[in-house]
Structure 1
């Protein structure tokens, strides 16, 4: 149930805004095709693909004005990188100063905790890499358009079933059974890739910046969680679960509220965006401290050492923060 509440609803809510197309063949058939050179099947598919990309981008925008790309206004790439590095560095310092005034009292992180944490981060990076590569491959093969042409409720239902099933298969498989364990974990990552592939319609620069900001945010929070006092933030589990419930309900608001409730929809969107950033940032802090707690339990022989299970939570935190970063940057770029 906790996983259901922590799933990102941005893609499904974006699909809600796309015109429904129940049959792709019928959609193409409804457009009269003249026997000319310009209407070859390749031209038709590329036109449909371009229209799908525009529809998905419009789901992240709140204006009817379409901005054309102007290289002169794009700015210097070096200057943007410097700004990004300054933002990340400032975030690390501010987060460490505010939340990390009480540090560990046991002389630093023991070797077994450091090894457990490093292996978890390595598996998290590997899982996110699988999601990114698979999402790109599915997008290039036309899966993104087919996913957008489906019923949003069907996509959400099938996606949740596949995600929850593969996740619990990963959790309840013993780490001694390597083949089954990594097989379920791979299926979980591929399921996330299939659901997130429509994000490839967005500007690659926005995706890159969102990824950079997400890594900076999670890295700074993870540093605080790793160097803070033992079990200092484990109490956040209950409040964060309540917070993510509110965020999830606000994400479902566009699916149930009428379009005339403009003010309510505006506040629900802000709660989903900025409240979600705060909640999943807190989940990152909680998950890192939980990983260190499990490392101590595994060292005592109370539980088995299982870094695959630990990395799933961090992957979900990254996905949820990344989606919100993409939407915020997309809206800001459109206002400019």
Structure 2
């Protein structure tokens, strides 16, 4: 997929007015579809999580095999990211929705661990922050590529520090990771939003569909991880 190949975009051929308005209108519609897929993924995750959290027997099973489910999530995300160019848009969609459902199994542990009022409060903060940063990424004229690379390096640092802290059990490092994690995913929301706009200009309709799913996955992961790090900072346990 090459975002620069826009000359063959079939949706443009039916118009003969201002190209800037056409592009802006089409990109807005495309982004709406991406957000639609993202919110569907969040809805599936939440529904599965609430269902499992309300069933004690299933919740115990999820807790006992939580590492297995975590590995399964990593495999599915890696499979979609690395193989999306070779799979059909329907397969990519199925993998994304399957990942959202699998993620709901582990989210059930969070729903059981934290007070509902706290979960709703943190979700509100996450949604508001996401909306603001998505608007920044959508409307800014500045190229965020360098900024995105910086956020990615920060993400790598957070992952390494998190692995180290599994063994170190440092409370100070825990809080540092949480604050840095919030900053990283707040930045990634803006960067990923701008990056997804380029997918709307891909020449092939099939590539645009796959780009929408890949973009939805990126924003879904940004939202989910921001929620988790904010929950670590502001959540109240049962």
**TM-score range, shorter-chain basis?**
0.7 to 0.9
Max Rg structure: 1
Cα displacement (A) at 1:161: 3.1
2:224 & 2:190 partners in 1: Cα distance? 15
Give deviations 1:47-79, integer Å, cap 9, x for gaps: xxxxxxxxxxxxxxxxxxxxxxxxxxxxxxxxx
Report whether the alignment pairs 1:292 with 2:202. no
1:195 & 1:162 partners in 2: Cα distance? 11
2:148 & 2:102 partners in 1: Cα distance? 26
Q: 1:135 is matched with which residue?
A: 49
Over 3 Å off, 4+ runs:
106-109, 168-171, 173-179, 300-303
Instruction: Note if contact 1:234-1:286 (Cα within 8 Å) is conserved in structure 2.
Output: yes
Give deviations 1:204-230, integer Å, cap 9, x for gaps: 100001110000001000001111116
Instruction: Note if contact 1:250-1:271 (Cα within 8 Å) is conserved in structure 2.
Output: no
Q: 1:273 to 1:109 in 2, by over 3 A?
A: farther
Report whether the alignment pairs 1:159 with 2:69. yes
1:174 & 1:130 partners in 2: Cα distance? 25
Alignment gaps of 5+ in structure 1: 1-105, 260-264
Instruction: Note if contact 2:122-2:235 (Cα within 8 Å) is conserved in structure 1.
Output: no
Aligned partner (choices 207, 216, 226) of residue 304 of structure 1? 207
1:302 & 1:124 partners in 2: Cα distance? 19
* TM-score, reference length from structure 1: 0.58
- Provide the alpha-carbon RMSD of the alignment: 2.6
Give deviations 1:25-59, integer Å, cap 9, x for gaps: xxxxxxxxxxxxxxxxxxxxxxxxxxxxxxxxxxx
Q: 1:228 is matched with which residue?
A: 140
* TM-score, reference length from structure 2: 0.80
Q: 1:174 to 1:108 in 2, by over 3 A?
A: closer
Report whether the alignment pairs 1:191 with 2:102. yes
Give deviations 1:133-163, integer Å, cap 9, x for gaps: 0111112222323333x2xxx633x234311
Alignment gaps of 5+ in structure 2: 1-19
Report whether the alignment pairs 1:211 with 2:123. yes
1:176 & 1:198 partners in 2: Cα distance? 32
Hey, which of these two has a bigger chunk of helix by percent? 2
Cα displacement (A) at 1:330: 2.5
The equivalences for 1:57-76 within 5 A come to none
2:159 & 2:79 partners in 1: Cα distance? 24
Q: 2:178 is matched with which residue?
A: 273
Instruction: Note if contact 1:277-1:324 (Cα within 8 Å) is conserved in structure 2.
Output: yes
1:270 & 1:241 partners in 2: Cα distance? 20
Q: Which moved more, 1:312-321 or 1:237-246?
A: 237-246
Q: 1:330 to 1:164 in 2, by over 3 A?
A: closer
The equivalences for 1:1-336 within 5 A come to 110-142=24-56, 143-148=58-63, 150=64, 155-156=66-67, 158-171=68-81, 172-173=83-84, 177=88, 179-201=90-112, 202-229=114-141, 232-257=143-168, 265-296=170-201, 298=202, 300-301=203-204, 304-306=207-209, 307-330=212-235
Q: 1:248 to 1:291 in 2, by over 3 A?
A: same
Q: How many residues get paired?
A: 214
Instruction: Note if contact 2:137-2:190 (Cα within 8 Å) is conserved in structure 1.
Output: yes
